[in-house]
Amino acid sequence: MNKEAKRWLRQAEADLKAAKDSLEDGNFEWSCFQAQQSAEKSLKAFLYNLGYTSITTHSVKILLKECKKKQTKFKGLEDAARGLDVYYIPTRYPNGLDENIAPVDYYDNEDAVKCLNYATSILNTVKRYIKS
């Protein structure tokens, strides 16, 4: 695994741990966002390891589509990617959902657990297919 991929994978693992910690603390909106970040960085690690030099998207779905061009075993993660993308902005901004509710009051344990499961699936898949 190249140096850049290692950096991104290390951060993906740290973000997943942070998402678990946030879930345990009841910070469900942050858990969802951190899970999205873990998945995004996991897929970027895979692409950087293949020699990509500039990846600007934050969309897990778009990153997964690119990864599937290089490794067909990434199929089956589409629902996870699509599911995580919807947590990128509204988990962080009070105007991301509705003018009457803040993210802290909107997201719950079920959302966070779902996001953690999605991110874990993506990270584990990347770790299975990234070249050491």
DSSP letters along 63-91, please? HHHHHHHH-GGGTT-HHHHHHHHTTSSTT
Measured CA to CA, the distance from residue 17 to residue 99 in angstroms comes to: 31
Give the model's pLDDT for residue 127: 95
- How many domains is the chain built from? 1
Is the pLDDT at 59 greater than 80, yes or no? yes
Residue 27 confidence class, pLDDT cut points 50, 70, 90: very high
Report phi then psi at 76, rounded to 5. Answer: 100, -5
Does residue 115 contact residue 83 with C-beta atoms inside 8 Å? yes
pLDDT digit string, tens, across residues 73-90: 898 999 999 999 999 999
Structural domain including 71 reads 3-129
Residue 118 sits in a domain whose CATH number is: 1.20.120.330
Q: How many CB atoms lie within 10 A of CB 62?
A: 15
